[in-house]
């Protein structure tokens, strides 16, 4: 299937029986490409960071600063449990924050009840994209590219658990979204039929 026209994308969306979760390092495009992918498929889009911010009435940066990262991970796990529960039996695109898939409980939820897609790019591209806005507490101190390389080393094995890997290169957002849709289609064909 060519997967360039909306009927074909609609066909793929109709076959989704669980949410798609985009995982990967900061700057990969999970939030922006994820929204494009959901629009293309005609399914709901949710960004977990935004859900946490709305529930806490604080920014991600403020939550890290006031309560620490473990507290943020607990909230993140609760949001995933709710969203994944709500979206069983249908399609939805969920943009995870970069560290979510390295929390054992969150990862187990995603692996068992969603389709994880590891969206990836090289560290220089990630650093450039992730520092366009000063919203990421883990990149506030030191050299962003070095920090991303350190996080990659720590998280690589976790991201590797995702059954689908897509490169978020220099192409436009919709190009990357189409690449994800193609990979999903092949995965569903093979494993769900």
Ligand X SMILES: O=C(O)C1=C[C@@H](OP(=O)(O)O)[C@@H](O)[C@H](O)C1
Is 28 near ligand ADP (CB under 6 A)? yes
**CA 4 – CA 168 distance, rounded (Å):** 18
**How do beta strands 164-167 and 92-95 pair?**
unpaired
Q: Which is nearer to ligand ADP, 18 or 36 (CB)?
A: 36
Is 27 annotated as contributing to ligand binding? Answer: yes
- Applying CB under 6 A, which of residues 73, 129, 155, 167 lies at the interface with ligand ADP? 129
Angle (nearest 5°) at CA 161 between 160 and 167? 45
Containing H/E element for 100? none
Q: Which stretch binds ligand ADP (CB under 6 A): 78-86, 102-110, 146-154, 164-172?
A: 164-172
- Report the DSSP beta bridge partners of residue 92: 44
Q: Which is nearer to Mg ion, 31 or 168 (CB)?
A: 31
Residue 132 binds which entry of Mg ion, ligand ADP, ligand X, none, with Cβ cut-offs from 5 to 8 Å by kind? ligand ADP
Chain centroid to Cα 166, Å, comes to 11
**CA 29 – CA 144 distance, rounded (Å):** 16
- Applying CB under 5 A, which of residues 22, 27, 29, 31 lies at the interface with Mg ion? 31
Q: Which is nearer to ligand X, 9 or 138 (CB)?
A: 138
E strand spans, the chain: 20-23, 44-47, 92-95, 115-120, 164-167
Q: Find the distance separating the first CA and the last CA of the chain, reported in whole Å.
A: 14
**How do beta strands 20-23 and 115-120 pair?**
parallel
Is 32 annotated as contributing to ligand binding? Answer: yes
Q: Which stretch binds ligand ADP (CB under 6 A): 3-11, 83-91, 124-132, 152-160?
A: 124-132
Is 27 near ligand ADP (CB under 6 A)? yes
Query: Residues interacting with ligand X, by CB under 6 A?
Result: 26, 30-31, 49, 60, 97-99, 136-138
Strand order in the sheet with 20-23: 44-47, 92-95, 20-23, 115-120, 164-167
> Mask 1-30, x = binds Mg ion (CB under 5 A)?
-----------------------------x
Return binding residues.
27-32, 49, 73, 98, 136, 155
User: Which spans of this chain sit near ligand ADP (rule: CB under 6 A)?
Assistant: 26-33, 95, 129-130, 132, 168, 171-173, 176
Return binding residues for ATP.
27-32, 136
């Amino acid at each position: 299937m060519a997967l360039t026209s909306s009927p074909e994308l609609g066909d793929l969306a109709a076959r989704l029986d669980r949410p798609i979760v985009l995982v990967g390092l900061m700057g990969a495009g999970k939030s922006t490409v994820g929204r494009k992918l959901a629009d293309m498929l005609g399914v709901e889009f949710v960004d977990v960071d935004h859900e946490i911010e709305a529930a806490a009435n604080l920014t991600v940066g403020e939550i890290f600063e006031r309560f620490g990262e473990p507290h943020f991970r607990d909230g993140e796990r609760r949001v995933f449990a709710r969203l994944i529960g709500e979206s069983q039996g249908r399609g939805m695109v969920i943009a995870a924050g970069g560290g979510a898939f390295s929390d054992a409980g969150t990862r187990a939820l995603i692996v068992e009840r969603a389709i994880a897609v590891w969206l990836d790019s090289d560290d220089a591209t990630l650093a450039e994209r992730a520092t366009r806005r000063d919203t990421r507490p883990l990149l506030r101190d030191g050299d962003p590219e070095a920090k991303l390389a350190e996080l990659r080393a720590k998280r690589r094995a976790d991201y590797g658990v995702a059954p689908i890997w897509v490169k978020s290169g220099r192409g436009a957002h919709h190009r990357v979204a189409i690449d994800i849709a193609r990979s999903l289609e092949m995965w569903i064909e093979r494993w769900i039929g």
